[in-house]
């Protein structure tokens, strides 16, 4: 089979190919592209002869898929699949496989990095120290004893809960289906929002979760509460969140994901809100997670090849 890695996947090529060959052997052709493009024609040219295409979070619409006439599997080196035309893949019988689990630790740890940045004013403290200032006006809060509300208790949400307990925080949880994390109080979303000091989002982006945090939900939160989003940008209504931050309806936010992928439009309202720490969709990306991802990706491909023998 011909396997096309249609965009770079953040692992040095020699190491990447070692991982790939260890999984699928030597008999399959592997082509790796070292540049990222969103040009439909170019992507179609890259994938036209591929039996299997590996990609990360590159948008992969019907217009590209239609050009990939031999395609049998789309191996997505990402957790979410909202950037892929799944309906067309189902029509064509193209198997789509994600890389669940590779970024669990990375996302959970950055979630706490954002919490600490917002709670302890780390970025303003850095600016003050460099400018010859002091801690005046910058004294923050401890996580210990605070209530964190975890929205979505899949693998990442469960790890966030584990870390929260290590910080001696109180935990509330909400899950759209019955939650499976033990020794956690599952409550309705409204109760979670009303009682939490920190609300952390860990749901996938689906039609049901888009805008799950909107104006009504933000109004339920304490004025002293902060929101952390390392899930997907559209699960929180951007305008409503920006308005809540500007008006002081909530106290702050840590945001890693936006309505569009970085580089961001300088006019994005969340870049201009007070008490907000933003990062450029980096939560999933660590040196370790990229290696984990490559291993899972090619294990998935190898399993698919094995099924077809």
Q: What is the pLDDT of residues 32-43, one digit of tens each?
A: 999 999 999 999
Residue 309 has pLDDT above 90, yes or no: no
pLDDT digits (tens, 9 = 90+) for 264-282: 999 999 999 999 999 999 9
Any catalytic annotation for residue 261? yes
pLDDT of residue 207: 94
- For 62-116, the pLDDT digits (tens) are 999 999 999 999 999 998 899 999 999 999 999 999 999 999 999 999 999 999 9
Domains of the chain: residue spans and CATH? 2-100+287-308 (3.40.50.720), 104-278 (3.40.50.720)
> Of 103, 123, 98, nearest to 113 (Cα)?
123
In the residue annotation, 176 being an active-site residue is answered as: no
Q: What is the C-alpha separation between 184 and 181, in angstroms, rounded? A: 6
**For this structure, is 232 an active site residue?**
yes
The pLDDT of 143-161, averaged and rounded, is 98
Model confidence, pTM: 0.91
Residue of 46, 159, 202, 281 with catalytic role: 281
**Best CA proximity match to 294, nearest among 48, 1, 18:** 18
Q: Which of 232, 275, 307, 308 is catalytic?
A: 232
Kindly indicate the confidence band of residue 308, based on its pLDDT and cuts at 50, 70 and 90: confident
Query: Which one of the listed residues 261, 272, 275, 307 is annotated catalytic?
Result: 261
Q: Confidence band (pLDDT; 50, 70, 90) for 284? A: very high
- Span 26-32, mean pLDDT? 97
| Distance of alpha carbon 117 from alpha carbon 148, whole angstroms | 16
**pLDDT average, residue stretch 232-238:** 97
Cis status, amide bond into 23, omega within 30 of 0: no
């Amino acid at each position: 089979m011909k396997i096309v890695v249609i965009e770079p996947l953040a692992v040095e090529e020699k190491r990447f190919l070692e991982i790939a060959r260890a999984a699928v052997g030597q008999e399959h052709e592997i082509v790796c592209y070292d540049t990222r493009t969103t040009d439909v024609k170019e992507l179609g040219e890259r994938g036209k002869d591929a039996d299997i295409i590996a990609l990360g979070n590159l948008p992969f619409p019907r217009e590209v898929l239609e050009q990939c006439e031999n395609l049998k599997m789309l191996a997505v080196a990402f957790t979410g699949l909202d950037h892929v035309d799944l309906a067309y893949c189902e029509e064509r019988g193209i198997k789509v496989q994600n890389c669940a689990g590779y970024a669990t630790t990375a996302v959970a740890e950055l979630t706490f990095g954002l919490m600490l940045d917002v709670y302890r004013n780390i970025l303003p403290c850095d600016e003050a120290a460099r400018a010859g200032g002091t801690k005046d006006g910058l004294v923050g809060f401890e996580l210990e004893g605070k209530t964190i509300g975890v929205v979505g208790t899949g693998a990442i949400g469960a790890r966030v809960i584990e870390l929260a307990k290590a910080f001696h925080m109180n935990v509330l949880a909400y899950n759209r289906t019955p939650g499976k994390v033990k020794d956690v109080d599952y409550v309705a979303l409204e109760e979670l929002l009303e009682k939490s000091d920190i609300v952390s989002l860990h749901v996938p982006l689906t039609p049901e979760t888009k805008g799950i945090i909107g104006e009504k939900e933000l109004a339920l939160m304490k004025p002293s509460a902060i929101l952390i989003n390392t899930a997907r940008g559209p699960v929180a209504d951007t305008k409503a969140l920006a308005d809540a931050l500007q008006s002081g309806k909530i106290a702050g936010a840590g945001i890693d994901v936006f309505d569009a992928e970085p580089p961001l439009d300088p006019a994005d309202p969340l870049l201009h809100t007070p008490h907000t720490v933003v990062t450029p969709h980096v939560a999933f990306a660590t040196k370790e997670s990229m290696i984990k991802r490559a291993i899972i990706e090619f294990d998935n491909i190898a399993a698919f090849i094995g099924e077809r023998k």
